Amino acid sequence: MWNRDLDVLVPMWQGADDIRVRDGAAALGALAAPGTQRVTVPVPAGGSEREKGVRHRAAVVDGYRAHRDVLARHRPRRLLTLGGDCAVEVASVAHLAGRYAQRLFVLWIDAHGDLNTPASSPSGTAHGMPLRLLLDADADGALPAPRCLMRGQVALVGVRDLDPAEVEYVRRHDLPVLDCATLGAQPTRLAELPPPGAAVYVHLDLDVLDPSALPAVAVPTPGGLTSAALARSLTALRADHQVVGVGITEYVPQLAHDQQVLNEVLGALGLTTAPPT
């Protein structure tokens, strides 16, 4: 089992503009064996129209602040975050960046880059912005987030659906990208991305899996990983590195799917009592 100080369940849905992911936090919590302590972060119930380029901006901001305050009270050094949508990762990663500084290395395992700004986002949904916020903050102040990561602290894994502005950002800043085909053929490549001695944060948007493996996600995207390939990669990562944080997001439990897929992935992360297959 992976030992951690705190589990936070964050049923935020407004970042994805998809109320179905609200139930994902509790559903993932029911599958994962609890850590030392478990807290559900209170998030707003409603939403609003697009403001300053962000849909449901007020709810996203209030949810971020509530999440940040919970982490400030508990001060975990090892943290599990269960969403909700990907916007919940801003508070968790920022907290651990404050703990580990430049030792922190973030593996952004996701079909999407989440590198948009309110100005560049076609949809205005905040779940497409968290990694950009963590790298650059938001100069316009539409969303609060301290710039807490350098570009050498991040690698993109499994991305295959980027908006034009995100493609340009990845190219301009030469962000490392590990694609699904390479990872599927060579699962140990994931463990080669963080430098020696890194404190690793694993962001896992479940849409990195191919829809044939797990259709129960907010934005299913063809061309993804099998559950076996993802599980092997995560097992290799944990064997070689200190994992200090895991965030799992965008699960839609209402949709029909094979729960064994989730059990396999959670087992590879050390979040269930059953060993990964």
Q: Are 93 and 79 in contact (CB under 8 A)?
A: no
pLDDT of 159 over the 70 cut: yes
pLDDT per residue over 25-74, tens digit each?
Answer: 999 999 999 999 999 999 999 999 899 999 999 999 999 999 999 999 99
User: Backbone phi, then psi, for 19, in 5-degree steps?
Assistant: -65, -15
HEC letters along 1-29: CCCCCEEEEECCCCCCCCHHHHHHHHHHH
Q: What is the pLDDT of residue 166?
A: 97
Across 97-115, average pLDDT: 98
| Residue 53 C-alpha from the chain's centroid | 22
What is the C-alpha to C-alpha distance for residues 96 and 201, in angstroms, rounded to an integer? 8
Q: Are 200 and 237 in contact (CB under 8 A)?
A: yes
Q: What is the pLDDT of residue 260?
A: 97
CA quadruple 44, 48, 54, 58: dihedral, nearest 10: -40
pLDDT range class, residue 102, cuts 50, 70, 90: very high
pLDDT of 261 over the 70 cut: yes
DSSP state of 85: S
pLDDT of 21 over the 70 cut: yes
Which amino acid, residue 17? D
* Structural domains for the chain: 6-268 (3.40.800.10)
How many other CB atoms are there within 10 angstroms of residue 168's CB atom? Answer: 13
Q: What is the pLDDT of residue 277?
A: 47
Beta strand extents in the chain (DSSP E only): 6-10, 38-40, 79-83, 104-109, 154-157, 177-178, 199-205, 242-249
